[in-house]
Amino acid sequence: MAIDWSEIRSTLARIEEKLEAANKALDSVAEEWPVVTRAQLENALPDWRDECGTNWARDVMRNRIGQENYRVQRGRGYRVAPEVLATLGVTVDKTDPPTGE
């Protein structure tokens, strides 16, 4: 049985295009999510080191909150899905996003 590598490459290219389009769609949805600071998230998870692990980015953001549920806003905090914020009990004033202080 011969392997058709050109067919595999073209299939892989199609999959990568669809994945890129899906990521762009998710990013556009994430633009509507509220911005929260790490301090707000830490207040919602006061024992995060004991419950999740010691690495904030890996243990809390990726594993507890979920990689698909947040986007990093450099210098401002995180854009987090509203349903995740509701689960954590974080309230956000949508009229005044945090400035990263």
| Nearest CA-CA partner of 63 in 51, 75, 72, 77 | 51
What is the DSSP code (8-state) at residue 95?
T
Each residue's pLDDT tens digit in the chain (101 positions)? 788 999 999 999 999 999 999 989 988 898 999 999 999 999 999 999 999 999 999 999 999 999 889 999 888 899 999 999 999 999 887 644 555 44
- At 97 the pLDDT is 52
DSSP string, 33-91: SPEE-HHHHHHH-TTHHHHT-S-IIIIIIIIIIIGGGEEEETTTEEEE-HHHHHHHT--
Rounded CA-CA distance 82/13 in Å is: 33
